[in-house]
Amino acid sequence: MLLMLEQRLLVKQCQESDTLISRSIYNDNTAIDSDRYYKVRPSYTLLNEALQQFGVFSEHLSIDERMVRYFGRHGCEMYMKGKPVKFGYKLWILSSFDGYPFYIIPYQGAQ
């Protein structure tokens, strides 16, 4: 009896999380502009606000490029020969000397 109740609760929680994920819409698809990352741009905006809110700025900053591994198809996917991560998305990151990121911008190609 207890096992059946636990299974029902687990199924209910999974269904609720699926509903939450399927209904989380970040942008209006009718207002597409030239931004190739328009679907995830609000997520980057929220992430950058949180990074700036909790980070302590220092005098010594650097701009780094970082690759995020991805093997799917997208117009912004890049191939970098001789890098550990050869296929993926390129990110420009403003970070402190100890590696804390303050601002992240996805690279969209020549603009």
As beta bridge partners, residue 92 has: 65, 105
CB-CB contact of 94 with 102 (8 Å): yes
* pLDDT of the residue at 48: 87
As beta bridge partners, residue 62 has: 95
33 contact partners, CB below 8 Å, separation of at least 6: none
Domain ranges in the chain?
A: 1-106
CB-CB contact of 35 with 49 (8 Å): no
| Tokens, residue 6 | 């636990």
The whole-model pTM stands at 0.63
Per-residue pLDDT 10s for the chain (111 aa) are: 555 666 666 566 656 655 555 555 556 666 666 777 777 777 888 888 888 888 777 788 999 888 888 777 766 666 778 878 778 888 889 988 888 888 988 887 765
* pLDDT of the residue at 1: 52
